[in-house]
């Protein structure tokens, strides 16, 4: 005989991990979104997200590993490996989450589409902040529909070695949506995923550049041993 449904059924196995589903009903949510390849996620990403959370009083930060980025030439590590590393890296921070929305969506991942999707999932009074390094902000202005992106969210641009905020301010100066870009000074970490891949391909370690769990996983899965992990 079929059991009658309980009042509050437990989630299906494997269902219910999507953080954006859990944030749907939160009134006045201040949500940080950190998008990237995260191949691998490193301490630069994590410190940037934490600084944004502190400096702009964000309630939560959701990391969104890209599935199929339109702008990356190099073949990325498998999406599941990048998702797992992001989960390992963020597990100890109660305000950090990882979303599968780009990984699970077919087609190329344009940031503007992702932000439209998230906007549609959340209450109208939610405030979205897209957190990026200064290098990525300069790119974003050349991406698909930058005006639309900046209508939906505020950009938080973090300092990053080699990408001066002065240059960014110059580019932004005079643009109609300049006030939607907030500049954030942080203790800059000269860490990048490409540097980590390059070093790993040379047999060098990632310890203290990425969280311990990420280093252990990447080594176990032999993600970056081959030189094809290195940019052209
Ligand atoms: P790659 O070298 O492969 O491009 P990456 O280190 O730049 O990797 P991405 O996944 O491309 O990492 O970056 C995701 C986001 O994190 C981007 O907005 C990028 O600007 C930002 N970011 C990456 N590293 C840092 C860092 N050390 N400090 C501040 N922001 C960073
Ligand atoms: Mg990058």
Q: What is the pLDDT of residues 193-224, one digit of tens each?
A: 999 999 999 999 999 999 999 999 999 999 99
Atom of ligand 1 nearest to the CA of 194: 2
Q: How far, in Å, is the centroid of ligand 2 from the Cα of 111?
A: 14
pLDDT band for position 78 (cuts 50, 70, 90): very high
Q: What's the pLDDT at 114?
A: 95
Residue 121 has pLDDT above 90, yes or no: yes
Average pLDDT over residues 154-180: 83
CATH superfamily of 26-190: HUPs (3.40.50.620)
Domain map (residue ranges) of the chain: 26-190
Would you say the CB of residue 189 lies under 6 angstroms from ligand 1?
yes
Q: What's the pLDDT at 167?
A: 78
Would you say the CB of residue 38 lies under 6 angstroms from ligand 1?
yes
Q: What's the pLDDT at 32?
A: 98
Which segments within the chain are labelled E, that is strand? Answer: 30-36, 60-65, 96-98, 127-133, 154-158, 181-184
Q: How far, in Å, is the centroid of ligand 1 from the Cα of 133?
A: 6
Contact (CB, 8 A) for 199 and 206: yes
Q: How far is it, in rounded angstroms, from Cα 140 to Cα 151? A: 14
Contact (CB, 8 A) for 78 and 113: no
With 0.85 as the threshold, say if the pTM is over it: yes
Q: Is 222 exposed, middle or buried (0-12, 13-18, 19+ CB in 10 A)?
A: exposed
Q: What's the pLDDT at 1?
A: 46
Q: How far, in Å, is the centroid of ligand 1 from the Cα of 157?
A: 11
Would you say the CB of residue 193 lies under 6 angstroms from ligand 1?
yes
Q: What's the pLDDT at 170?
A: 81
Q: Give nearest CA residue, ligand 1 atom 19.
A: 133
Would you say the CB of residue 181 lies under 6 angstroms from ligand 1?
no
């Amino acid at each position: 005989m079929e059991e009658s449904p309980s009042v509050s059924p437990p989630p299906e196995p494997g269902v219910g991990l999507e953080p954006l589903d859990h944030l749907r009903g939160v009134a006045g949510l201040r949500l940080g979104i950190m998008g990237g390849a995260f191949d691998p996620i490193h301490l630069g990403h994590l410190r940037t997200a934490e600084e944004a959370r502190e400096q702009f009083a964000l309630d939560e930060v959701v990391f969104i590993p890209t599935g199929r980025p339109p702008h990356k030439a190099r073949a990325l590590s498998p999406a599941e490996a990048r998702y797992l590393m992001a989960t390992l890296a963020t597990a100890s921070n109660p305000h950090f989450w990882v979303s599968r929305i780009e990984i699970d969506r077919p087609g190329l991942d344009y940031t503007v589409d992702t932000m439209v999707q998230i906007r549609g999932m959340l209450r109208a009074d939610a405030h979205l902040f897209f957190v990026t390094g200064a290098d990525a902000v300069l790119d974003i202005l050349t991406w698909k529909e930058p005006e639309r992106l900046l209508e939906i969210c505020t950009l938080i641009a973090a300092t990053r070695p080699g990408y001066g905020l002065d240059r960014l301010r110059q580019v932004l100066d005079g643009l109609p949506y300049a006030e939607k870009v907030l500049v954030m000074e942080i203790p800059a970490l000269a860490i990048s995923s490409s540097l980590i891949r390059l070093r790993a391909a040379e047999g060098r370690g990632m310890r203290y550049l990425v969280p311990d769990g990420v280093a252990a996983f990447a080594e176990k899965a032999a993600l970056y041993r081959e030189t094809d992990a290195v940019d052209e």
